[in-house]
């Protein structure tokens, strides 16, 4: 769910080209967080795929292979991300690593125009399975809250049948947070996916506290604010004290702020290039900010 500007900026904001820094980051402990409903642990930084396309297949294959080598496993896609599901499925099959990755996709009730076919609900899910070249997905999410009440019985049935492991809902819009909170109270969700960044903390007021209360895992989209946040960061000097949390770039600074929230399970910044991914994955290593450091990061950001 991350725009191209953010994808490009994330790696260029600091040490993306610093091979020595990348090697040092890999020697630090991997940060993992538990899914509250099961205790299964996930690496704290994954990969968003809304810009994946066949024209970049070779680069994407290199990128996903590198992510797996670095310890990352979470890949988030959707039925309406163009060619994304097909590219993800083909790449995972070519690499032979499907069993090591946590694959999340999405569907809607009303359907959308997917390559000329107007489908939603179960037909959309069956198409996702075919594109992803798999018999089940780890997480199935209702995209942008489109048809939660309609789809929830189907998703619960799919979970009982073993075709999905976890159920979730998503939004990337602050205006939908109140509706998301209502669904979180109404249904036994395993995951929510929501927009959150150091420049957009609205979710910390409602969605994230309720997720902790109801033991729901949280994926974070647009952690770089569709590019605006990383663009602001590039005009500033990275504070020297960022080294205290093993941060060497602005992308890592912004991601570590996000994944250090106690309710957050994993952030999924978008990327189509390996050098961008390596920098982002560096945020899943080493020390996380504690409450005092998070306040310091907020104050630095707000006052700059």
pLDDT tens, position by position, 126-147: 999 999 999 999 999 999 999 9
User: Can you tell me the mean pLDDT for 86-111?
Assistant: 95
Q: Is the pLDDT of residue 284 over 90?
A: yes
pLDDT per residue as tens digits for the range 29-48: 999 999 999 999 999 999 99
For the chain, give the mean pLDDT.
91
Q: What pLDDT band is residue 22 in, cutting at 50, 70 and 90?
A: low
CA distances from 169 to 58, 147, 177 (A): 31, 10, 11
Indicate whether 209 pLDDT > 90: yes
In a domain, 303, yes or no: no
How would residue 5 be classed by pLDDT, with cut points 50, 70 and 90? very low
> What is the residue range of 105's domain?
4-298
Residue 163 lies in a domain: yes
pLDDT over 90, % of the chain: 83
Please write the tens of the pLDDT for every residue from 111-126: 654 434 557 899 999 9
Percent of the chain at pLDDT exceeding 70: 90
User: Higher-confidence residue: 116 or 299?
Assistant: 299
What is the reported pLDDT for 14? 38
What average pLDDT does range 192-216 have in this prediction?
98
- 204 falls in which pLDDT band (50, 70, 90)? very high
* Per-residue pLDDT at 12 exceeds 50: no
* Residue 110 confidence (pLDDT): 77
Residue 245 is predicted with a pLDDT of: 98
Q: What is the reported pTM?
A: 0.91
Q: Averaged over 251-270, what is the pLDDT?
A: 98
**Is residue 196 domain-resident?**
yes
246 domain residue, yes or no: yes
How many structural domains are present in the chain? 1
Average pLDDT over residues 218-244: 93
- Specify if 140 maps to a domain: yes
Mean pLDDT of 11-34: 68
CATH of residue 181's domain is 3.20.20.100
Taking 80 as the threshold, does the pLDDT of residue 203 lie above it? Answer: yes
On whether the CB atoms of residues 10 and 276 are closer than 8 A, the answer is yes
For the chain, what is the HEC assignment?
CCCHHHHHHHHHCCCCCCHHHHHHHHCCCECEEECCCCCCEEECECEECCCCCHHHHHHHHHHHHHHHHHCCCEEECCCCCCCHHHHHHHHHHHHCCHHHCEEEEEECCCCEEECCEEECHHHHHHHHHHHHCCCCEEEEEEHHHCCHHHHHHHHHHHHHCCCEEEEEEECCCHHHHHHHHHHHHHCCCCEEEEECECCECHHHHCHHHHHHHHCCEEEEECCCHHHHHHHHHHCCCCCHHHHHHCCCCHHHHHHHHHHCCCCCCEECCECCCHHHHHHHHHHHECCCCCHHHHHHHHHHHHHC
> Is residue 201 over pLDDT 80?
yes
* Residue 107 maps to a domain: yes
Say if 304 falls within a structural domain: no
């Amino acid at each position: 769910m991350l725009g191209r500007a953010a994808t490009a900026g994330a790696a260029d904001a600091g040490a993306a080209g610093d091979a020595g820094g990348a090697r040092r980051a890999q020697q630090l402990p991997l940060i993992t967080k538990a899914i509250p409903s099961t205790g299964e642990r996930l690496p704290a930084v994954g990969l968003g795929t809304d810009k994946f396309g066949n024209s970049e297949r070779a680069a994407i294959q290199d990128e996903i292979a590198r992510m797996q080598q670095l310890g990352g496993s979470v890949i988030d896609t959707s039925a309406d991300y163009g060619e994304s599901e097909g590219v993800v499925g083909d790449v995972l099959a070519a690499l032979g690593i499907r069993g090591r990755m946590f694959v999340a996709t999405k569907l809607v009730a009303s359907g959308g125009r997917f390559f000329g076919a107007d489908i939603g609900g179960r037909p959309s899910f069956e198409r996702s399975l075919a594109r992803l070249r798999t018999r089940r997905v780890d997480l199935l999410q209702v995209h942008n809250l489109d048809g939660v009440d309609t789809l929830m019985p189907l998703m619960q049935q799919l979970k009982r049948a073993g075709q999905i492991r976890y159920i979730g809902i998503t939004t990337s819009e602050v205006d939908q947070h109140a509706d998301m909170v209502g669904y979180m109270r109404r249904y036994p969700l395993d995951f929510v996916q929501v927009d959150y960044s150091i420049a957009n903390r609205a979710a910390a007021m409602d969605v994230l506290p309720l997720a902790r209360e109801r033991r729901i895992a949280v994926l974070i989209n647009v952690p770089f604010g569709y590019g605006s946040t990383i663009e602001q960061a590039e005009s500033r000097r990275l504070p020297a004290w960022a080294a205290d949390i093993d941060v060497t770039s602005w992308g890592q600074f912004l991601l570590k702020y996000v994944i250090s929230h106690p309710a957050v399970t994993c952030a999924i910044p978008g990327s189509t290039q390996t050098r961008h991914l390596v920098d982002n994955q560096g945020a899943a290593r080493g020390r996380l900010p504690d409450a005092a450091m998070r306040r310091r990061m907020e104050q630095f950001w707000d006052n700059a």
